[in-house]
Amino acid sequence: MALPQATPTQHLRERRRLVGLRRGAAPYALLTPGTAWLVVFFVVPMYYLAKMSLEQGIFPIFSFSWEWSNFSDAVSAYQTQFVRSFEYAGIATLIALAISYPLAYWIAFRGGRWKNLFLLLVIAPFFVTYLIRTLAWETILSDNGIVVTVLKDVHVLGSGGRLLATSAAVIAGITYNFLPFMVLPLYVSLEQVDGRLIEAAEDLYASRVRSFLRVTLPLSLPGVFAGVLLTFIPAAGDFINAQLLGTPRQYMIGNVIQSQFLSLRNYPTAAALSFVLMGAILVLVLIFARALGTDRLTAGAAA
């Protein structure tokens, strides 16, 4: 849509109109219903969860008592599940990144006019209900399934070996189930890479590998960052894959929170565990942000 450039007077008029629009209550009127909903049903519940994590008692009677020991007890009792959650989520995130990057690259640079269609193809499988998808993996990884048979034939698995009910199955499930959260941000950042920069690098005799490593990859790091976060966070809190593809020996912290809340009704412990999970995720995200380096990102963009 090539519209004529605005003339100076048009610019002035537009600016005047924008200034006029920016004043007054209009934005707040637009915002209030939605943000009120988020405050009441997202922020306020967090307050109650925090309060619950410092209560003591037995269902259905709890009382607030600054019970900080809920946190230390919860962490020491479920240390294994915490470590396992971050281990599984970390491995799954790395595998998802390795799978998604070339795919996102392919859509962004080779997709041409079919980009949107390919994106839709990538997202489409995730419109099959999460649980049904995971049950399908149960079928694929089952003892008589094709994957186990092939792995046995090439002697990666012993004759009694199985995939279901192992860490590998749970990690495979997590990797698959959160893949769009990795592909989409990667695609967005790769799509924005200016092709002329790559051409310039190649004109300056950079090899294709080198121009990828020095131009494309640094420019796509914001997408890597977003993709890793959006995959890692839900993965660390997941309990469905461990429940359906694993056994209690693969249970993650999500399984513990779920059963503490809904089966044992030990609300204070469950609330404390939820907060430790969020806190640990936050710390890891900050470490990761520092490791990837905001200054390196801007330097990459400038290069």
Partner 1 sequence: MRFVRRNLLNAYAVLALAYLFLPIAIVVAFSFNNPRGRFNYTWEGFTFKNWTHPLDYPGLGSALAVSIEIAVLSAIVATALGTLIALALVRYRFRGSATTNLLIFIPMTTPEIVMGASLLTLFLNWKIPQGFGTILIAHIMFNISYVVVTVRARLVGFDRHLEEAAMDLGANEVVTFVRVTLPLIAPGILAAALLSFALSIDDFVITYFNAGTVTTFPLFVWGAARVSIPPQINVIGTAIFVVAVGGMLANVLWQNRRARRLLAA
42 contributes a contact to partner 1 by CB under 8 A: yes
User: Which H or E run contains 42?
Assistant: none
How far apart, in whole angstroms, are the C-alpha atoms of residue 136 and residue 156? 23
230 contributes a contact to partner 1 by CB under 8 A: yes
The tokens for 178 are 């959160």
- Total number of residues binding partner 1 (CB under 8 A)? 85
Nearest in space to 46 (alpha carbons), one of 212, 275, 264: 275
205 contributes a contact to partner 1 by CB under 8 A: no
What is the three-class DSSP state of 142? Answer: coil
* Binding residues among 165-194 for partner 1 as defined by CB under 8 A: 176, 179
* Binding residues among 98-157 for partner 1 as defined by CB under 8 A: 99, 102-103, 105-107, 110, 116-117, 120-125, 127-133, 135-140, 142, 144
Piece in contact with partner 1 (CB under 8 A), picked from 29-37, 73-81, 154-162, 213-221: 29-37
Q: What percent helix, strand, coil does the chain show, rounded to 5?
A: 80, 5, 20
- Residue 190 CB, nearest distance to partner 1 (Å)? 13
* Contact status, residue 169 vs residue 140, Cβ threshold 8 Å: no
* Binding residues among 1-20 for partner 1 as defined by CB under 8 A: 1, 3, 6, 10, 13-14, 17
Kindly tell me the burial class for residue 33, based on how many C-beta atoms sit within 10 Å of its own C-beta (0-12, 13-18, 19 or more). Answer: exposed
| Cβ neighbours around 9 below 10 Å, total | 8
How far apart, in whole angstroms, are the C-alpha atoms of residue 138 and residue 173? 9
248 contributes a contact to partner 1 by CB under 8 A: no
Distances in Å between the Cα of 265 and the Cα atoms of 47, 62, 70, 261, 262 are 19, 11, 14, 5, 5
Piece in contact with partner 1 (CB under 8 A), picked from 65-73, 153-161, 234-242, 288-296: 234-242
* Binding residues among 58-97 for partner 1 as defined by CB under 8 A: none
- Residue 101 CB, nearest distance to partner 1 (Å)? 10
237 contributes a contact to partner 1 by CB under 8 A: yes
Which is nearer to partner 1, 27 or 161 (by Cβ)?
27
Q: Which of 12, 16, 21, 287 binds partner 1 (CB under 8 A)?
A: 21
* Binding residues among 259-298 for partner 1 as defined by CB under 8 A: 261-262, 267, 270-271, 274, 277-278, 281
37 contributes a contact to partner 1 by CB under 8 A: yes
- Residue 259 CB, nearest distance to partner 1 (Å)? 11
Q: Which of 221, 234, 284, 300 binds partner 1 (CB under 8 A)?
A: 234
Three-class SS of 148-197: HHHHHHCCCCCCCCCCCCCHHHHHHHHHHHCHHHHHHHHHHHHHCCCHHH
- Residue 299 CB, nearest distance to partner 1 (Å)? 25
- Residue 93 CB, nearest distance to partner 1 (Å)? 14
52 contributes a contact to partner 1 by CB under 8 A: yes
Which is nearer to partner 1, 5 or 155 (by Cβ)?
5
| Cβ neighbours around 218 below 10 Å, total | 18
How far apart, in whole angstroms, are the C-alpha atoms of residue 31 and residue 16? 23
Q: Which of 229, 241, 245, 246 binds partner 1 (CB under 8 A)?
A: 229
Contacts of 106 by beta carbon, 8 Å cutoff, 6+ apart: none
